[in-house]
Chain A
Amino acid sequence: MAETSVENSITPDHKGNVVSRFVWTYVFATDHKVIGLQFLFSSLIWFFVGGFLALAVRWQLAWPWSDMPIFGHMLFAESGGQMSPGFYNMLFTMHATIMIFFVIIPILAGAFGNYLIPLMVGAEDMAFPRLNMLSYWFMWPAFACIILSFFMPEYGASAGWTSYPPLSVFQGDAQSLWLLAMVFVGVSSMMGSINYLTTIIQMRAPGMTMFRMPMTVWGMFITAIMQAFALPVLTAALLMQLSDRLLMTGFFLPENIAVNNGVATSGGGQVLLWQHLFWFYSHPAVYIMILPAMGMVSDIISCFSRKPLFGYRPMVYSITAIAGLGFIVWGHHMFISGMNHTLAMSFMVSTMLIALPSGIKVFNWIGTLWGGKLQLTTPMLFCVGFVAMFVIGGLSGIVMSAPPVDIVIHDTYYIVAHLHYVLFASSVLGVLGAIYFWFPKMFGRMMNERLGKIHFFLTFVFLNGTFFPMHFLSRMPRRVADPYIYEGLKDLLPLNQFMTICAIGMGLTQLIFVANFFGSMFFGAKAGRNPWNANTLEWTTVSPPPHGNFDVQPVVRRGPYEYSHPETDSDFFPQTKTS
């Protein structure tokens, strides 16, 4: 219940009237749980904004140039509700930007990282609570920039979320706002990652050795390392593009490029340089968007299989390997960019190597499930769904890692299918599972199981209905407002309409989640300290945890996955329990 966490997290010296209490609790919150929830709520709001943009994209692809319900007439009254091709560009650009930078990364690293790391390692708070507060504050200038960019003449940045120059340099002002927003998000993530690393390295409870940490913490730890190393490069690149736009430098512009308004730029720069710097961050970002989910899924699967996680150390090593390899594969996004071919070959090999640790992880999840006393609760369903969907997304990824294949399917819906299987069908399912799993800890009440299962099954069916057919569209170019102007693509219209109907269904299904979420927050069954009979430290304290997290000093005596341990009668063995 929200009230309880409010009560618990204000410090004694800030008891005043309602307004100042609100301000001190939510604006100047330094408690990691409040900040985690702030990240959670803002990400969920943006999740729906991004979802709307996706539905608008789907609408255009299913019924091109027709009047979109509600919004069509609001925005494009003079053209009879037809969106413009530029508006379509804005839609897919902002959809990707919001989903990646405002939803998945903040919800994984910001919300769950903040909420779970101190609880799981047995710390009273983050290492630097005020830095933590700043890292959430820095999200707001980014939000402001993006909201403002929607009111620009071009309705928002529209150079694609990859923002390739020279196109992006000659876009309108919304692009500058986009760049600024990304800088702010980057600074926020960087402060967060330094905080997480310090907390995990220095503030583990006695007995919590590195190899007794839950996989969630490992996922967050490796993610934080990746962010710390990759983000500064993106920040530098963003600032350079910003200066290309505002100060007329030419880092990413070729010699004497002439554009339609006649400005010949002062050049000598390289367009490829942007792609290198951008993907040096944004490929690791792909793993930043999935490793924490993998960690949480590992915990949840082990808990509901009532079995130790199969191969804990290989899981840790494979996460580390994915992260390490993730830094040397970025070139596979650039196979057709005109880069050095020999370099492309080396990127192909390293990309294919990533299949190994990913395969180990999938194998270990299945090994964990095998022979377990499965409890098919909602979080478990989402996590099993995650594993299944990750296999599909991962396999299509291996297919396209070979340049000869990629040259054919680059920038087609096959790629779109792949990335949505990894980002939506894997990461978002993992996130939803984690919300169902840790909701009792966050709010002290259980979420409704029946609604949760309906939510899962409908989401699962609709997401496959939306994204699986995209695998067959490897001849349909992405980022084209009306592909059906090409004679050879006309036959794809019915399939696209089917996908759009599924997408709308998927969007409506999420309303069940919203209802369940807010309903359970106030009317859910009370949850005790440990409703799932799980082992990790956060379940030893009250739900929701008070300020300072623990009422007794946690002392860790074993690893996090001692389920069905022969030495105890109960089927779980909390990390702090003396035997």
Chain B
Amino acid sequence: MNSKANPSNETDATNGGLDGGSHGHIELKYQPAVPVPKGKLAVWLFLSTEIMFFTALIGTYIVLRFGAPEGSWPTPGDVRVLEWLGAVNTFVLICSSVTIVFGMEAAKQNKAGKAKSWLFGTFVLGCVFLGIKAYEYNSKFEHGIHPGTPRSLLYDRADLNYLSAVKSNLDAEILSLEKEKTALVSESVVPHDHDVLDTLVLIRAGLVQWTQRTVGEAENPMMRELALESLAHQINPRTSNPRVEAYLASENADVKNQIAELMGQQETVEQDVREMQERIDVLSEQLKAEQDDARKPDIESELSAATEASKTAATKATELVDLLTPLENRVSAYEQFNGLHEGLNEHFHLKLPMVIPSGNTWANTYFLMTGFHALHVLGGLVAFMVLLMLRLDRSRAGLMENVGLYWHFVDIVWIFLFPLLYLF
């Protein structure tokens, strides 16, 4: 039993390490269970906790991603993800892992200058990684693909919620542009962006109000769905959707037919109006010319009848115009907007609500995982900066190894995030 009393491994005894050792009291001996410095052990323990942290994040992703309805997860194209950029970032991190390993080897061999340049290389590669990340984030923010307050621009399905969101968004935008315009006019500056305003007004009249009316009047639920879907498709087309495109084309043809029919009616009515006008003219001439008082009432009654008929025809004409305007708006909206493969948002740099099924969940998980990973990269860079201020000789090899362990862990996390977020 007493055989263990005398520690055989006195050389492994370590003192306070980072904390400068004992001061003013006896130095105690220990028997460490594992043959590594305390700092390295603590880093490994810390990495274990980090594994659990990222497991929770990846678990969240798995739950939300694979629990999403079949086929509703966005494709990389939907959410502006460039797979090759992710691959480049993977490559950058792998390179940085190699450089820090070489840096540590150099430090072990007491080549402080070499170690420092390897470490600087790692630092630069880390910065490159963050730069690419920032570019990727920016390209998503530009397109409104991010969580937002009180609600993001991404909608899971084209429903009435979505329609009202588009409408209120559009109204607010138009209002602010109009205000701006009046302000500019009052300052006698020529407003230069009224074409944007015109576009927005046309979108409101030809797309949103039209869809609203179609949805309100359609009796077939499939038609309502198609109308809403076509609105979403025109704002932000995800893939080519032949069903919606066929619907739009056939609807356009139908609208044109209606316009032609209404135009015909309009012509007739205008003809009537003209005839009536002529008749009124003739009658009033007759009334003036007529000397015989006995015939006057007859003419007057004829005149009033003609006036009445003219009025009716005129009302009908305005009614026809009222009927025609939305149809014409619809046609011109179709003609202006339908050829745009990238959709209204992209083409006019608008930020109208978009339909990307599970788009929000995608954005949440994407920014969560890459965000926390980027924060860890940032932490590594701070550690590098501290290290770069020191002389990296043999005595600092342990410190470099600890930072390196952390950096490799960050690399491993990315090794899993890359396929999960870019390729799945």
**Which residues from chain A sit less than 8 Å from chain B, CB to CB?**
11-13, 30, 122-125, 127-130, 190, 194-195, 197-198, 201-210, 228-233, 235-237, 240, 243, 247-251, 255-256, 263-270, 273, 277, 280, 546-558
Residues of chain B lying within 8 A (CB to CB) of residue A270: 63-64, 67
User: Given A130-B19, A190-B49, are A203 and B30 neighbors across the interface (CB < 8 Å)?
Assistant: yes
Residues of chain B lying within 8 A (CB to CB) of residue A194: 42, 45-46, 49
A-B CB contact pairs (8 Å), 22 listed: A124-B22, A125-B16, A128-B18, A130-B18, A130-B19, A194-B46, A198-B42, A202-B41, A204-B31, A206-B7, A228-B49, A231-B52, A235-B53, A251-B365, A263-B151, A264-B151, A268-B64, A269-B64, A270-B67, A551-B26, A555-B6, A556-B5
Question: Which residue in B5, B32, B152, B156 is a CB contact (below 8 Å) of A202?
Answer: B32
**Stretch touching chain A among B54-62, B179-187, B213-221:** B54-62
Residues of chain A lying within 8 A (CB to CB) of residue B41: 197-198, 201-202
Q: Does B297 contact A (CB under 8 A)?
A: no
User: Given A206-B30, A546-B25, are A233 and B151 neighbors across the interface (CB < 8 Å)?
Assistant: no
Besides A228-B52, A230-B52, A248-B152, 5 other A-B contacts (C-beta < 8 A) = A198-B42, A233-B53, A243-B364, A248-B147, A248-B148
Shortest CB-to-CB span from A231 to chain B, Å, is 7
* Chain B residues numbered 116-173 whose CB sits less than 8 Å from any CB in chain A: 147-152, 154-156, 161
Do B156 and A128 have beta carbons less than 8 Å apart? no
Q: Does B192 contact A (CB under 8 A)?
A: no
Do A233 and B55 have beta carbons less than 8 Å apart? yes
Do B152 and A266 have beta carbons less than 8 Å apart? yes
Size category of the B interface is: 35 or more
Shortest CB-to-CB span from A335 to chain B, Å, is 19
The 4 A-B residue pairs with the shortest CB-CB distance in the complex, in nearest-first order: A548-B25, A206-B7, A232-B53, A268-B361
User: Given A206-B29, A229-B48, are A555 and B23 neighbors across the interface (CB < 8 Å)?
Assistant: no
Question: Which residue in B6, B16, B60 is a CB contact (below 8 Å) of A206?
Answer: B6
Shortest CB-to-CB span from A560 to chain B, Å, is 14
Do A249 and B147 have beta carbons less than 8 Å apart? yes
Q: Does B50 contact A (CB under 8 A)?
A: yes
Residues of chain A lying within 8 A (CB to CB) of residue B48: 228-229
Do A269 and B364 have beta carbons less than 8 Å apart? yes
Q: Does B246 contact A (CB under 8 A)?
A: no
- Residue of A201, A202, A249, A546 ringed by the most chain B CB atoms within 10 A: A202
Do B52 and A205 have beta carbons less than 8 Å apart? no
Do B33 and A210 have beta carbons less than 8 Å apart? yes
Do B360 and A203 have beta carbons less than 8 Å apart? no
Residues of chain B lying within 8 A (CB to CB) of residue A30: 19
Minimal Cβ-Cβ distance residue in A for B55: A233
Question: Which residue in A231, A237, A250, A555 is a CB contact (below 8 Å) of B360?
Answer: A250
Shortest CB-to-CB span from A236 to chain B, Å, is 4
Question: Which residue in A13, A198, A236 is a CB contact (below 8 Å) of B45?
Answer: A198
Do B2 and A557 have beta carbons less than 8 Å apart? yes
Minimal Cβ-Cβ distance residue in A for B32: A202
Shortest CB-to-CB span from A238 to chain B, Å, is 10
Minimal Cβ-Cβ distance residue in B for A262: B150
Residues of chain A lying within 8 A (CB to CB) of residue B386: none
Shortest CB-to-CB span from B376 to chain A, Å, is 13
Question: Which residue in A122, A229, A255 is a CB contact (below 8 Å) of B28?
Answer: A122
Shortest CB-to-CB span from B235 to chain A, Å, is 17
Q: Does B14 contact A (CB under 8 A)?
A: yes
Q: Could you tell me the distance between the alpha carbons of A263 and B149 in the complex, rounded to whole angstroms?
A: 10
Q: Could you tell me the distance between the alpha carbons of A462 and B147 in the complex, rounded to whole angstroms?
A: 52
Q: Could you tell me the distance between the alpha carbons of A557 and B2 in the complex, rounded to whole angstroms?
A: 6
* Chain B residues numbered 39-88 whose CB sits less than 8 Å from any CB in chain A: 41-42, 45-46, 48-50, 52-53, 55-57, 59-60, 63-64, 67-68
Shortest CB-to-CB span from B361 to chain A, Å, is 4
* Chain B residues numbered 296-334 whose CB sits less than 8 Å from any CB in chain A: none
- Residue of B48, B49, B154 ringed by the most chain A CB atoms within 10 A: B49
Do A550 and B28 have beta carbons less than 8 Å apart? yes
Shortest CB-to-CB span from B74 to chain A, Å, is 11
Do B30 and A202 have beta carbons less than 8 Å apart? yes
Do A232 and B156 have beta carbons less than 8 Å apart? no
Q: Could you tell me the distance between the alpha carbons of A256 and B162 in the complex, rounded to whole angstroms?
A: 11
Minimal Cβ-Cβ distance residue in B for A130: B19
Q: Does B295 contact A (CB under 8 A)?
A: no
Q: Does B38 contact A (CB under 8 A)?
A: yes
Do B4 and A207 have beta carbons less than 8 Å apart? yes
Residues of chain A lying within 8 A (CB to CB) of residue B2: 557
Shortest CB-to-CB span from B260 to chain A, Å, is 42
Shortest CB-to-CB span from B105 to chain A, Å, is 26
Do A273 and B63 have beta carbons less than 8 Å apart? yes
Residues of chain A lying within 8 A (CB to CB) of residue B68: 268
Do A204 and B25 have beta carbons less than 8 Å apart? no
Do B364 and A202 have beta carbons less than 8 Å apart? no
Do A233 and B16 have beta carbons less than 8 Å apart? no
Q: Could you tell me the distance between the alpha carbons of A555 and B151 in the complex, rounded to whole angstroms?
A: 65
Q: Could you tell me the distance between the alpha carbons of A490 and B154 in the complex, rounded to whole angstroms?
A: 50
User: Given A251-B60, A270-B67, A550-B28, are A202 and B149 neighbors across the interface (CB < 8 Å)?
Assistant: no
Q: Does B97 contact A (CB under 8 A)?
A: no
Q: Could you tell me the distance between the alpha carbons of A209 and B32 in the complex, rounded to whole angstroms?
A: 10
Do B28 and A232 have beta carbons less than 8 Å apart? no
Residues of chain A lying within 8 A (CB to CB) of residue B7: 206-207
Q: Could you tell me the distance between the alpha carbons of A207 and B22 in the complex, rounded to whole angstroms?
A: 21
Shortest CB-to-CB span from A199 to chain B, Å, is 9
Minimal Cβ-Cβ distance residue in B for A200: B33
Residues of chain B lying within 8 A (CB to CB) of residue A280: 56
Residues of chain A lying within 8 A (CB to CB) of residue B152: 248, 266
Shortest CB-to-CB span from A76 to chain B, Å, is 32
Q: Could you tell me the distance between the alpha carbons of A254 and B74 in the complex, rounded to whole angstroms?
A: 18
Q: Could you tell me the distance between the alpha carbons of A171 and B238 in the complex, rounded to whole angstroms?
A: 36
